[in-house]
Structures are given as C-alpha cells and as structure tokens.
Structure 1
Amino acid sequence: MVPTAPYGSWPSPIDAALAAAHDGHADHVGVVGAELWWTRARPDEGGRQVLVRRRPDGEDEDVLPPPWNARSRVMEYGGRPWDGADRPTGGPLVVFTHFADQRLYAYEPDTAAAPRPLTPLSTVGEGLRWVDPRIDLDRGEVWCVLEEFTGEAPTDVRRVIAAVPLDGSAAEHRGAVRELSDGRHRFVTGPRLSRDGRQAAWIGWDHPRMPWDGTELIVAEVDGNGELRGARTLAGGPEESIAQADWAADGRLLFASDRSGWWNLYRAEPDGAAVAVCPRAEEFAGPLWQVGRRWFQPLDSGLIAVVHGVGTTTLGILDPESGELVDAAGPWTQWSATLAAHGSRVVGVAASPRTFGELVELDTATGRARVIGCDHTDVVDPAHYPEPLIRTFAGPGGRDVHAHVYPPHHPTRSAPAGELPPYVVWAHGGPTSNVSLVLDLETAYFTSRGIGVVKVDYGGSTGYGRAYRDRLREQWGVVDVEDCAAVARALADEGTADPHRLAIRGGSAGGWTTAASLATTDVYACGSISYPVLDLTSWLDVTHDFESRYLESLVGPHADVPGRYTERSPAQHTDRVTAPFLLLQGLDDAICPPVQCERFLEKMAGRGIPHAYLTFEGEGHGFRRAQTVIRALEAELSLYAQVFAIDRDDIPRLELTP
C-alpha cells in the first residue's frame, strides 16, 4: 500500500540545489570547419556562459576558460555572442563578446595566446556593446551589430551594423570601426550575406514598435570595398513582423513574416513578390527578444530546416518548391530558435517533458534524428517527474486560454482521501513569450512534494498566431490577469485544485501579472513575485531602451491614457493587496531596477500583510547563479508551506514581516 501524506508534505529527492544545477542549457549552436560549437550556461560558475567545441575525436572541450563569459548585453537581452571560422593554418579563429566589459575579443584556442580585444572601451553611459558577429576572413573583419551609448540615460543609444577589423586596430580607436548602415532604424539585426557576397539583408524597426509588432526587411548591395549601397525595404511594415531572413542556396532571399496572421516562411522573387513556401496556421518563427535567433536554416541541397508548430514546436525539413514538410521523428516537444547545418546534417537544441535540452542532429539524407551532445541524464528516478497535460480553458467571453497542467506526482506517496491539492499558477515573462513543454526541475521541485503547477499561456502569448498575441494590446494587467484567474478557478471548480490553496508566481512581466492579480482578484492565497514591473509610470523612467516604449502597445500611449497607467499599477493600489507575498530582486537589474520593489514596499509598510523581500547582489534580470536559485526556491516553498498550513522542516523558514 502506498503511504498517504498531506499534499505539499511529501519527501522529494529533487532539492533546490539539484534544480539549480540543471538550470543551464545549450544554445547558439554553430559549425566551425568540421566541428560543432555551442554556448552553455554554468550556474555553478556564477552563471558564466561558456563556449564549447566538439573535437574530431568526439570529446567536448570548453573553449573559454574562466573568467571569460560569452554573453552580450545588446538590448539587455543580448543574442548570439560568438562566431567562428576555420583557417588553413593555425586552427580556428573565434570572436566573442565578453560579458564583463562587453568588448569583442578574438581568440585562437589552438594556440597559447589569450583572447585579444578587437573593440575599444567607452566611458559614455553603458559604453559600447556588440552582438551577432560574423567573421569575414577575406576582408579581415567581423560584421556585427554595434550598440553605442551617446549619453548617460538608458535611452541615449544608437545601433548600427558595423565592421570591426580582425587585426586589433580598433581595440583602442573607435574611429577604426566602419559603420555600414545609416542609423535610420533604432534597432537592427546583424546582416546576412548572400552566398556570392554581393548582397546583404537585415531587419530594422523603430520605437514605439516592438519587433513582434512590425519590422522591415532591408536589402542592400555590397560593393567591392565592403560598403552597403542602395539599401531598400523589401517587405514588412508597421503591422507586419519579420523575425528572420537568410539566403537560400539558389541566391533567393527567404524570410519569416506574420502577414497571414502566422509567422510563415516566404521567398522573395526577382520582381519583388513574396511567395509563401508552406502556408499553414502554424508558427515558423517567434518573438525576436534576442538578436541572431534562427528558426530556419537553408541547406546546400535547397531544402530548408524549420522549427514550427502551434504551442509546442518540432523540427522539419521543407522542400520550398513543392511545399512538402517532413518532421523529424523523436520525443522532443520544444526546439530552441538555434539551428546550424553542415552538409546534409542539421543540429539544434531540443527538449521534452522527460528530457532537458539536448543537442540533436537530423540527417536529412536518411531522416534519422539522434542525440549527439548534452545528453539527458536522469539525476533522480524519473518516476518523480511530473506528467504535463496540455489543456485549453474557457476564459472571459468564452475565449480560449491555453495552459499546461502539472498535477502533484510522487511514485510512493498519495494524499488522504478527500483532500484537494494546492496549486500554483505560473505566469510567464515577456509578456510576449510562452511556456515550454519540457522537463523543468523547478516545476518538479513543487509537484514531487505534492503542490500542483499550472503554466498559463494567457492572451498575448506567442505560438498561437497574431490574433492570440494581439489580445494583450492595451490590455496588459487585464487579459493576462483574467486568463490566469480563469484557469485557476476552472481547476478549483472541477475539483482538481483546492480553491482555498491557490497561489500565483511569475518573474519580470510574470511578476507584474502576479502583483496585479494580488491587487485585483481574490483568487489567490499568496504570491511569489520576481524582478517585476510594479508601477507603469515610473518604470518608463528607469528601464532600458528596448522596452522603453513597449507600454504603448501593452497599455496605450501614456500621453493619451495616463489614468490607465495609474489604475493598473499594483504599486498604486497596495491597499488592495491582502494576501501574503514574496518579493525577489536582483540588485543589478537594468530592466526592472530594484527601485520598483523598494517603492512598493514603502507603500505596503504598516498594512500588516505578511511578506518578505530578498535581494541578490550580482544578479540582473533573471537569476543565473546556483546559490540564488536555491535561496529563491526554498523561500518560495516556505511561503507556500506557511500559507497553506503544510508541515515541512527540511527547508529554511522564510521570515515574513507584517
């Protein structure tokens, strides 16, 4: 007989340290000569992002020793931080952005020489930053995106496509960097060169649009001196989002556009017409939060590798002439927006509800997909992993609300008859993002102890077409709150969750939704809020440039609807917050600075609402260090234990201050 114990009190081998240790994953894959390279986060090394190479003998090797950290801060969310080139002699050459000083460095890993700087430092504002580099050995340059601060304010910044000399002549001289684009767009991606090197394509957009609202696809000729000439807009506009562009083997330009209501793949014809190569009510791209993301990869054969799907994603091989799409067989439910190709083989990063992110190779000649790196290893008995349920709930007005439900699960424990489990609603960040159907030990940390989790893709989430994404237009703090509450109530009404033991948690935009939910609904008994937006008006003055006009689409132009900014801000309605809460904040956060939390707590003072505020030095927007993740998870579990009357003595008690 399986022993019984109250929900939330079950023992679990998945502790916070185990969850934190498996928070890193492979990303930004690429091919250098015959080798596969990629980046990987190391939570146990302070969140350092290392560059890894697969040697010809099959051994993996870190390319960059400590303290080198390949991570860009362009637009604060960064993007592809490295590129590599194979050379006839001397081994490979790699360039990367080092997180600490944001300089671009060149490194020859097969020699004894240390990385050498290619770009200068600047004392103006946040200095100079670089992302999405592409090495051109023939020209002796690196083409990339330059983000340059022109003043001390977060919005005193310009971005251009630039060429950096590989000989190091620009390491102390800003004037040695060639600017290739004219700066007419506030935001740009790195250029993609046609195979003959005569044309370049990139994406640009301007405030107040975000890249998922509207972007422009720009094409220019590359002259003999490596200058961009005759730049023209080929596609896109204020209401059309182009997320990626690249050149096919036959020299024609491919791009992902949502002009049909879904991010589909198009081919640019010589007469300027755009032809949909696989029109479907599916997404073949996603939100461009980071520069250099890749949802499709043209192959030498003329075929195209594509990441596509609705909600979940898979890897397929598309024949652009016939429109035939053949998907890779395998258990994976989520493919990251990073692909690399070598001959007939395509490599990406894929995960499933039973596996962490793995490097998976698809041989297009045989159709076989296999794991070739970062192999998943069960760190505990997989019987402790949760079994997700993909569900669609009815929101206000009968609108669909997509969610993943993770019931409490333990192989050797059950709850007493008649007891309903507590549930935590997870509101994802973004908010223009979504939840992934993959193994996550933070989720298992709770479900294996008897606390259910439901991850909600509220209106505004990506993965379900533009109409679903646009539900949040001027409705942030309304639709997201309503959809999360609808899912929580539905679980309670159907007898899945205890209506008196519902919680909500989220980080960044999810932190906003959590705080707004506590201020405007009576659904939740408590909440866990991480690095949040709490006051819309003051956030405009302190956040970074990329999102400084985001609220115009999420809430409305401040000049036109100032009252809306006040009415929806949790910080303006602390008197409505009656449930206990935990507030978690990185002290180096440039996106949601600590001042938001500090002002919120000043207004909560004296109200008698139990709460805790934990801050973490060296952490920015999103926690990367193992010790931070451990402390945050244990504090969150302690909050739930105290509020839900769960007896646990295996975690530090979170001191709640009234």
Structure 2
Amino acid sequence: MTTVAPYGSWISPLSAADASAAAPRYDGARFVANEVWWGESLPDQGGRSSIRRSVDGEVEDLLPAPWSARSRVHEYGGGSWTTDEDGRLFFVEKSDQRVWSLRRGEEPTPLTSDDPQARHGGLRWQHGVLLAIREVHDGSPVPRRSIVSIPQDGGEAREIVGGSDFLAQPALSHDGRHLAWVAWDHPDMPWDRTQIRVGDLAHGTVTTWRSITSGGTAALQPEWDASGRLIWLDDPSAGPTAGRWNLWRRDVASDLPAEPIAPADADTGGGLWVLGVRWYALLPDGGIVAVRTHGADEVVRIDAEGTARATGIPVRSRAVVEDTLGSRVLVSGMAPGVTGIWQLDQHGDVTLVVGSRSDLGDEWIPPARPFTVHSRHGDVHAFDHPPTNPHHTAPEGELPPYIALVHGGPTAHVGGVADSRITFFTSRGIGVVEVNYGGSTGYGRAYRDRLRGQWGVVDRDDVAAAASGLAAEGRADAARLAIAGSSAGGWTVLAALVGTDVFAAGISRYGVGDARLLATDTHDFEARYLDGLIGPLPAAEALYLERSPLSHTEGFRVPVLLLQGSDDAVVPPTQAEAIRDALAERGVPHAYVLYDGEGHGFRRAETVVHALESELAFLGQVFGFETPGVPAIALS
C-alpha cells in the first residue's frame, strides 16, 4: 500500500546510524598469498584505521586497537600501509607518524626513528624494498620531502632522492637500477603540471636523473613493465585525445618517442589528493587493467594489442586499482547500493570481497540520471537522484525539495552513484543533484581548467544552473532548493548564497569563507593552490577580497547550517566562526555545530550520525516538513 505524504516527511527505514554504517572508508587492499587484506576506518572505534581480513566469513582485525594506520603527509595522507609477500605488515602509526612492522602473533616494532618532525606515507613494497615518502617539518618555509627506503631491521631510513617541493608514486624497476617518480613544485598542483623523472640508482641512491615528460602536463603514476619500458599517465595538449589522461609507454633507454596505449576520450587519472592511489595496473600477459572516467567510472582490461573491453566490475565512482597477483586484480570504489572492494580473477569472474550496503532493496536506490545544462561558462554535467520510496508518494501537484550537493576539492569528481547519505535523503522525499561543475576532473583538461582564476564564479554559477535547470524541467520545487557542500564545496555553498537568489537554504561542512585567510592559514600542500584558482598574492589581493563570501555578508538572506571540526588543519574553525558571527550580526537564522576532536572530514560514528540528522532537521525546519524520528535543531 502506498501512503500519500508531503515530500521530506516520508517514513524511511534508513536511519542516520544505518547510513553511517553503510558508508565505510576503505584505505587500500592487498593480496597476501590467497587472502585479501584491506584498510578500513572504524567509526565505532573513534575513526581508528585498522587492517583487516576475512576468515571463513568472519572479519578479523590484523592491526589491533589502539594502533591506527593513518598518514599525515600532505595532511591528506594515503598509502599508510603495505605488506611483503609473506604477510609482514608495514604501517604508519597515526600518533607518531613512524613506520612500524608487524608480524602475525607478535607486537609491532618501529622501523623509523622517533622524530616528531618526520611524517611518512605512500608506503610501497617493491622487489624487496620498502619505499616511502618522508616529510620533515623542521621550520623551513616548505617541509623537506624525499623518497626513502626503509630497512626492515630498523636501521636508519636512506634518502633515495629529494630536491622537489613534492614527490609521489615512486616505482622501482625490476632490475633495481632505476627509480621513476612524480615531482612538482609550488605553485603547481599535481593536476596542473608535474614531471615524471627517472633516476639511476647506485648504492640505493639516485645519482643522476632526467625528466621523461615536458613539465607542461599533469603526468602521473609511472610503472615499469617486465621488459623495462616505462608506462605512465599523461594529458598532452595535442593529438586526437588532447587534454585527456591516457596511458603512455616509452623505452627510456632509447631515443624513441613515447607512444599512447589504447587512447580514449576518457580520463585514466584524477586528482592526486592522497598518496598511494593508482588508476591502472600491469598484468603478466602484457595487458593492463585501468579505470576510465567520462562522467562515471568504468574499469576496463586492455590487452597486449591495445583493445579495451569492460571487465564487469560494477564500480561507477571513486574507482581505484588497488593490487594485482598474477592475473587477479583488486578494485575499490562505489557501485549502486554498495561501497566495496571487488576481485577480478584470472577467468574474468567478478566477486565482491568486502562491501557495506544498507539492508534496503534496489527499489529504494534512486536511479542516477545524468544530465547536462548550460551556464554562461559552458556545459555543466550533473547527476539527478530523485526522491525514491516504494511506500510513499507525494500529494498531486507537489514538487520535491532538492539539495544541490557540491563536491570538495574543488579539483575532484562525483560519478553519479547514490551512496547511503544520498539515499538517506531521497528515501524521505528529498531529491539530490550532484554537480560536476567546471573545474571537476573526469571530463578532460579544458573542463578542469575552466576554474582557473575563476573559483567562486564558475563553480557558483554552474551549480546554480544545474539546480535551476531541474526546477525549469518541473522536477524540483524552485522555492525549496538547498545547497550543501564540504570544504571547497562549502566555499561554493557560501558563494552561491551571497551571489545568487537560487537557493533557499545552505549547509556548509568546514567550508571556506575567506580566501585570503585560507591562503595564509592552511597547510603546505594547498598553500599555493589558490594561485591557480584565484591568482597569486599579493598581486591578486583585491580579487581575493572580492571573491570571498565574507566580503559580501549583506548577501546572506536565507538560513545556514555550519558544521565544523575543532581540529581541522585544512580549514580551521576560525572560518566557520567568522561566518557564524556575520550571520548573527545580520539576524539570519543559522546553527553552528562544532565537533570536538574532529578534523577535516568527520570520522567518528556519533559525529557522522549527528551531522546527518542535523542536516535533515535543518531542512525540515526551513522547508516546513516533519522529520519523524529526528529531533529539531535550534536556529539562532
């Protein structure tokens, strides 16, 4: 039987706690003999990051509490653990950023010295060598970063190469004579300009090196094939797939030019926000398994002749190739209704190794409808997730409220998969539109570069155009459009609230309100990010002032919910508090929630649940619908 009820007040079996439990954070996966090990953040243990395996259907923690594998290199970390072939675990302990070793049945032992200035990440075990990125905060204007090898007996880590502001993705050749890596310097970001470098090794140290790429492209992920040729990702400006990240190959011992591998009008590559991420892997038969992105992700297998075929792995968003063992492949990501890790075996069969989904059936999962609208800056790509509940329908003639969900970054991407947070809202009769505004990855260099110098303008206008487009099509209530986003997405939320009249409510999670403050009070990885997004300081000082939502507080007219972590080193609480004070001064209804001990991204189960319930209660109060089972939120 179908119940008629207003949009937003539909009864949903998916609670905020259920949604939190169905949204795991995985951090890498590895084959260890016949087992699969994976990293996972555990919200019910305060966000501790454990390494786990499944034995006879039961999940076992290989890294016991209170140990937590998490890197803080670049603040965003990544590559916090790896293993050798025998199952010896190497991990970065969150509390001291040292690299530790753990054999089953023993206690962890430190491999690096107790140096409070040093951090490690991007761990990689290759050909009997443990590689890592080391970051030393010694008071220098830019932390000293280098690629190091870490002895397994606990001796001093050896610096292999340094000399760049940033280094990532080291790859050791099969014969141990060469190292390839990604390097870039301020003010570039790794999606702007990088170099692939190849160094000659002697006694474990790079003696000489040369650049394999021009330096004018965003080259990523070097790997060595079995014949000693170098393979990497690049987005050159010329050719039939200009501006697209594609696979390239070159014999670096010769003068022959690089050649593309199975070029496509799609991106194999993305924003290198975390260390250890990989978009492809090499197979023993000369084939390659790769992620291709054009809107949504697709995992393909490219044979030695260059023919690409779909693998059947259902991942459509946040796809990462984690590991290979022979012809077996591990891929993590999001598929409709499930976030997990899948195995592709040597026969082409696909199985879900580990994954978390709600108990809802497919009839509860909203279909992701891709659509394109036009803003004054060009085409805008988005995904529409309409209200979906098999037991409810709305009164005739009523249009649903919608949330325009803005991804962070801003150099990032969404693939149109309804995760548990989206389903939490759509099952209650609130639509969600995810917008890949200009500046997003997944559509090539030109689309990505649309945001250069235009942050706070292009993103604002594109998101507003997508939401307005839904209303113009009669799919959404134009009077009940909300906008929500985190971090850089929160900046877009605030910019849209003061710079457009499209939205009737805004939700900012640790959002940026003052660009000048962000540029001067943030961590080193993003310290010059705004040079490209707005302009270099001090020359662009006036532009920073003009773009910042805090410079236009007279534009705040609709209710705002601010959610913030007290320990956020990327966007400090001072940003949210300045917005709160401006809203209070103008008498705009608002709520400010500060979560003690949380950083940039909420990890504790109680925080995730409270934040989600607060968002629903806020929308119900602003848009005038009941929120059964969720307490009201007080607006100042």
Scaled by the length of structure 1, the TM-score of the pair is 0.92
In structure 2, the partner of 1:243 is 220
Alignment partner, residue 289 of structure 1 = 273
The range that moved more, 268-277 or 545-554, is 268-277
Q: CA deviation at 1:560?
A: 2.2
1:218-263, Cα deviation, whole Å (9 max, x unpaired): 101222x2222211111141x3001211111221110000113000
Q: Which runs of 5+ in 2 are unaligned?
A: 237-241
Query: 1:318 deviation in Å?
Result: 1.1
Query: What secondary structure is seen at the aligned counterpart in 1 of 2:44?
Result: helix
Aligned partners of 1:335 and 1:222: how far apart in 2? Answer: 35
**Residue 147 (1) aligns with residue 155 (2):** no
Q: What secondary structure is seen at the aligned counterpart in 1 of 2:182?
A: strand
In structure 2, the partner of 1:24 is 24
Unaligned runs of 5+ in 1: 170-175
2:320 aligned partner: 337
Q: What is the aligned partner in structure 2 of residue 168 from structure 1?
A: 154
How far is 1:200 from its partner? Answer: 0.9
What is the aligned partner in structure 1 of residue 206 from structure 2?
A: 228
Q: CA deviation at 1:69?
A: 1.1
**Amino acid of the structure 2 residue aligned with 1:133:** L
Contact 2:290–2:321, Cα closer than 8 Å, also in 1 = no
The 8 Å contact of residues 314 and 335 in structure 1, kept in 2 or not, is answered as: no
CA 1:60/1:194 → structure 2, altered by over 3 Å: closer, same or farther? farther
- Residue 94, structure 1, aligned to residue 50, structure 2: no
**Conserved 8 A contact 1:340-1:347:** yes
Partner of 1:494: 473
State the 1:43 CA deviation.
1.5
CA distance in 2, matches of 1:649, 1:342: 49
| Alpha-carbon distance in 2 for matches of 1:85, 1:336 | 24
* 1:382-393 equivalences in 2 (<5 Å): 382-393=362-373
- Within a 5 Å distance, the mapping from 1:138-537 to structure 2 comes to 142-151=130-139, 155-169=141-155, 176-181=156-161, 183-223=162-202, 225-237=203-215, 239-259=216-236, 260-269=242-251, 270-320=254-304, 322-334=305-317, 336-353=319-336, 355-364=337-346, 366-371=347-352, 373-375=353-355, 377-396=357-376, 399-537=378-516
Q: Partner of 1:567 in structure 2?
A: 546
Q: What is the alpha-carbon distance in structure 2 between the residues aligned to residue 578 and residue 405 of structure 1?
A: 27
Contact 1:543 1:592 (8 Å CA) reproduced: yes
Q: CA deviation at 1:368?
A: 2.4
**Alpha-carbon distance between aligned partners in 1 of 2:591 and 2:58, rounded to the nearest angstrom:** 46
CA shift for structure 1 position 647 = 2.2
Instruction: State the match for 1:75 in structure 2.
Output: 74
Question: Which TM-score applies when normalising by structure 2?
Answer: 0.96
Q: Which moved more, 1:403-412 or 1:187-196?
A: 187-196
Letter in 1 for 2:114: L
2:98 to 103, 107, 113: 103
2:366–2:386: 8 Å Cα contact kept in structure 1? Answer: yes
Q: Which amino acid aligns with 1:338?
A: V
Q: Is the 8 A contact 2:22 2:356 kept in 1?
A: no
Contact 2:416 2:434 survives alignment (8 Å): no
Higher mean Cα deviation, 31-40 or 487-496? 31-40
1:362-394: CA deviation from partner (whole Å, max 9, x where unpaired): 234x332222x1145542343222222111112
> C-alpha distance in 2, partners of 1:50/1:219?
34
SS at match of 1:450: coil
CA spacing shift, 1:377–1:554, aligned 2, 3 Å:
closer
> Where does structure 1 differ by over 6 angstroms across 4 or more consecutive aligned residues?
none
Change (3 A) 1:536 1:351: closer
- The structural deviation recorded for 1:544 is 0.3
Q: What is the DSSP-based 3-state SS (H/G/I as helix, E as strand, rest coil) of the residue aligned with 2:618?
A: helix
Q: Does structure 2 conserve the Cα–Cα contact (< 8 Å) formed by 1:33 and 1:85?
A: no
Counterpart residue identity of residue 119, structure 2: R
Distance 1:631 1:483 in 2: 30
Deviations 1:418-440 (A, max 9, x none): 11111110010000001133241
Look up the SS of the partner of 2:294 in the other structure. coil
Give the Cα–Cα distance (whole angstroms) in 2 for the partners of residues 515 and 593 of structure 1: 16
Report Cα offsets for 1:498-556 as digits up to 9, x if no partner.
11111000000000000111111111111000011110111122100000100011011
The verdict on how the C-alpha distance between 1:211 and 1:345 changes in structure 2, with shifts beyond 3 A counting, is same
Please state how far the C-alpha of 1:156 moved relative to its aligned partner.
Answer: 4.1
Structure 2 counterpart SS, 1:567: helix
Once the two structures are superposed, what CA deviation does each residue of 1:101-138 show, in whole Å capped at 9, x if it has no partner?
Answer: 211111112x2x21111222334xxx211012234685
- Asked if 1:122 is matched to 2:115, the reply is yes
Q: Is the 8 A contact 1:131 1:291 kept in 2?
A: yes
Task: State the match for 2:11 in structure 1.
Answer: 11
Find out whether 1:636 has 2:615 as its counterpart.
Answer: yes
1:335: how far off? 5.5
CA contact (8 A) 2:299 2:315 kept: no
The aligned length equals 629
Aligned in 2, Cα 1:345/1:584: closer, same or farther, shift over 3 Å?
Answer: same
Assess if the C-alpha contact under 8 Å between 2:321 and 2:329 holds in 1: no
By how many angstroms is 1:36 displaced? 2.2
Identity %: 43
Measure the CA separation in 1 of the matches of 2:54 and 2:183.
34
RMSD: 1.7
2:412 alignment partner AA: S
Per-residue Cα deviation, 1:582-629 (whole angstroms, up to 9, x for no partner): 000011111001111122223333311000100111211011111101
**CA drift at 1:342:** 0.8
CA contact (8 A) 2:329 2:345 kept: yes
Query: Contact (CA 8 Å) 2:403, 2:431: kept in 1 or not?
Result: yes
- Give 2:6's aligned amino acid: P
For 1:580-599, what aligned pairs fall within 5 Å after superposition? 580-599=559-578
Amino acid at match of 1:257: D
Aligned to 1:172: none
Question: How is 1:614-625 mapped onto 2 (pairs within 5 angstroms)?
Answer: 614-625=593-604
Q: Say if 2:400 and 2:475, in contact at 8 Å, map to a contact too.
A: yes
CA distance in 2, matches of 1:634, 1:134: 39
Residues 438-447 or 503-512, more deviating: 438-447
Instruction: Label 1:648 to 1:132 Cα distance change in 2 as closer, same or farther (>3 A).
Output: closer
Partner of 1:48: 48
Which amino acid in structure 2 is aligned with residue 341 of structure 1? T
Q: Secondary structure at the match of 1:147?
A: strand
- SS of match in other structure, 1:289: coil
